[in-house]
Structure 1
C-alpha cells in the first residue's frame, strides 16, 4: 500500500481537497455545474465569488457567472452562517429549512435590541411584495435594497442602525425574497442584485425532510470538500454535531475514512483512489480569491495554512480574508490586485519573501488568467 494512503502529509491532504473542489483535474463544464457540485460557495464579496467559480470552470469569464445570476441558474443568498453563498436554485429552500431556524434563533437577541418582531417581518414581506409588483408593472426586474428600505420607511418600518438589513435578511431566510438579477446602472455592470419574490424566481424547489436533508448536505460536502472531518462539516453548516454524526452513520458506506493526525477525515471513493497512484498537483500553484472555499470551508484551517501565517491572510483577525496563493496543496502566501494609472496588475506576497523561478512563472500565468477573466 502506498505511503500516501497510510501516512498522508498535510500537503497531500491539501491536494486531495483541491481535487475534490474541482481546482485540479479540469474542473467543471459550466458555471451551474460547479456551484451545484460545491453545494454552497462563500460569496459575500461578489468579485471574489466570481473568480472562485472561474478557477473551477476553465474558459469562462466573469460575465458568464453574472449571466448565470441574471438567468437564475445560480442564486446568491444566505443559506448558512448568516453569510452570502452561491447555491443551485433548487437547493436553496431545503437548505434554508435545515439551517434557517437555528440562525433566526441566534439573531433573536439582536432583533430584540432593534425592536424587530415577527409582525414587523410579516409587515415588511407585504411591503416588499407590493413594491415589487409596482416596479414590475413599470418594467423593472426587481427591487433594489435602497428601494425596499425606502418603502419600509414610508410604511413606518425604521431601517437605520442595521434594522433594515436585518429585516431584509429575515425575509430571505424565510424564503419570501431572494436576490435575483444583477442591477445595472447607466449601461455599466452592477455590483448589487435586485430582490424578487422567492417563488417567482425559483418556481421549482426540491423538498427534503430534516434528517434526509442533513444526510444529503453531509454527503455533498464531503464529496466536494473532502478530506474533511465531521467537525468541519458541523461548523460549515452550523448543524449540531449530534445530528451531523447521525447523518454520517447514514452515508458513511458511500465515503472513505482516512486517518490523519489521530483524527478521522472523510472523502469520496473517487478522490481516495488517487492515493493509490499518487495525488496530482505537487507542483501546482493557484491564485485563489479571498474567501475561497479551499480555506474557508473548514473549521480547522491549519491543515493547509500554518498557524503562524494565519494573521497574514486575515490581518488583525478582522474576518476579511486576503487572496491566497496555494502551492502543492499548501497556502504559501497572499496576492494583491494592483492599479497604476490605467494599468491593472497582480503582485505576489509570499510568506517566505520570494517565489522560486518556476513558481513565479506559474503565478504570473495565474495573474494573466485572473485579469482576463475579470475583464470578460
Structure 2
C-alpha cells in the first residue's frame, strides 16, 4: 500500500483529536496519545485542553486525583501522564533497555547495578501503601544499612536514580503534598495494577498504542520516542516482528513504515488537511515523530522548535506541518510564522486564539509576524 506524507499528517491530526476536536475525557485523550509529556504541568494541561471542544479548568488534576491518569517518569526519562492500562507496558520496554547498567550511566551517576537492585527492593518495602515526599523517602532509605552514600543521588533535582525504579514498577508519583511531589507504590496506588509484564507481552500494548497515534512509523522512530534510541536495533525490530499481522508495511512517499493493520484502510482514504492549530509546548504531535523529522519540522527551523535545555516551543501547525512558533505575552498570542512556509490564513489563527482563550480562561489579542 502506498500513501503520501500529506495523508499521514492529516491522519495523525485526526487520530490525535486535533481535527476535529473532541468531547473525550482527559483519560481518554491520554490513552489516545500514548501518554502526554508532563515535565511542565501547564504545558500538559494545555496540550489536552486544545484538543477538547469544551475544555475545563483543572481537568488534569481531577483525573490524577481520580487515578484515571497517573504521573510518572516514562518515555525518554521525562515525566508523563499515562493511563493505567498502558503504563506497565511502556515501563516494561523502558526497563528492557537497562540504561542504568551501561558503564556511561554508572560513571555519570555513581550507582552500580547491584545498588540499583537493592535500592528498588528498599523503596518498594518503604513505600508500602504510603505516600512519601522525596525528603521523607530519602531519609527512610539512607537510614537503612548500606544506603548512606546515596543521599546526593536520591535528592538530585532530575531524579535520575529514581527513574529506573519507576520503569521497574517500584514507584510512581502520588497525590500532591502542599506543592511537593510524593511517591507511592504502583502496587497499592494504580487501579488494576498487575505488575510489569515481560517485554514481548508489553510490546503488544505499547507499540500499537504508539502507532495508533503517531504511525506510520519505523522501529527506529518508535525507539527514539521511547528511549532516545538506547534499546538496541535488534531488540526493537524483534518487538515489531512479534506483532505479526497486527501491523502492515506501507510505503510513505518511497519510505517504508509500519501502520496498524486495522488503521490501514482509513489512512489510505484520508485526504490532506488544510487545518491550522496552535499547539502547546511539548505537544505529542511534535514529540511523537521527533523534532528531527524534517517532514514535520523544517530542518532549518529545528532550533526554533527544539530549544536549549530540552525546551519544546508551542508551534503553529498548518497542513500538518510546523509553520511557526508562538507564545503568550500578558496581552497577546504572539505568533511567529516561518517566512518560507505556505501562507497561514489569519482567520484560522484568530479562531485558534479564541480557542486558547477557552482553554486558559483569559482573552488575548492575536499578534502575527514573519520570521
TM-score (norm 2): 0.80
Structure 2 residue matching 1:81: 3-state secondary structure: helix
Structure 2 residue 209 is matched with structure 1 residue 220 = yes
1:165-176 paired onto structure 2 within 5 Å:
165-176=159-170
- Following superposition, the deviation at residue 115 of structure 1 comes to 3.4
Q: Which residue of 2 aligns with 1:365?
A: 354
**SS of alignment partner, residue 289 of structure 2:** coil
Asked whether 1:324 is paired with 2:315, we answer: yes
- Determine whether 1:198 maps to 2:186: yes
Residue by residue over 1:287-340, the C-alpha shift from the partner in whole angstroms, topping out at 9 and shown as x without a partner, is 111111111112442111111111111235x4211111111211111111213x
User: Residue 64 of structure 2: SS of its match in structure 1?
Assistant: helix
Separation in 1, partners of 2:348, 2:334: 13
Using the TM superposition, give the Cα deviation of residue 373 of structure 1 relative to its aligned residue in structure 2, in angstroms: 8.9
Do structure 1's residue 315 and structure 2's residue 307 form an aligned pair? Answer: yes
* 2:87 aligned counterpart, secondary structure: helix
Tell me the equivalent position of 1:32.
27
2:67 is the alignment partner of 1:72: yes
Give unmatched runs, 5+ long, in structure 1.
Answer: 137-141
Counterpart-to-counterpart distance in 1, 2:134 and 2:297: 37
Q: Which moved more, 1:147-156 or 1:77-86?
A: 147-156
- d(CA) in 1 for partners of 2:266 and 2:163? 42
Contact 1:42 1:84 in 2 (8 A): yes
User: Is 1:279 paired with 2:271?
Assistant: yes
Maintained 8 Å contact 1:287/1:366: no
Question: How far did 1:218 drift?
Answer: 1.7
Structure 2: stretches of 5+ with no match in the other structure: 364-371
Does structure 2 conserve the Cα–Cα contact (< 8 Å) formed by 1:127 and 1:152?
yes
Q: CA deviation at 1:63?
A: 1.0
Instruction: State the secondary structure of the residue aligned to 1:34.
Output: helix
2:217·2:259 contact (CA, 8 Å) conserved in 1? yes
CA distance in 2, matches of 1:123, 1:329: 45
Preserved CA contact (<8 Å) 1:80 1:100: no
Residue 129 (structure 1) shift? 5.2
In the alignment of these two chains, the number of paired residues is 350
Deviation at 1:82, TM superposition (A): 1.5
Check conservation: 2:74, 2:167, Cα contact below 8 A.
Answer: yes
List aligned pairs for 1:65-104, cutoff 5 A: 65-104=60-99
Q: 1-side partners of 2:38 and 2:101: how far apart?
A: 21
Does the Cα contact within 8 Å between 2:127 and 2:184 map onto a contact in 1? Answer: no
C-alpha displacement of 1:178: 1.0
Indicate the SS of the match to 1:160.
Answer: helix
Take 2:272 and 2:6, find their aligned partners in 1: how far apart are those partners? 11
Matches within 5 A, 1:23-62: 23-27=18-22, 29-62=24-57
Q: CA deviation at 1:45?
A: 1.7
Deviations 1:192-216 (A, max 9, x none): 5321122111252256432232233
Q: What is residue 285 of structure 2 aligned with on the other side? A: 294
Instruction: Give 3-state SS (helix, strand or coil) of 2:257's partner.
Output: strand
2:254 maps to 1:266: no
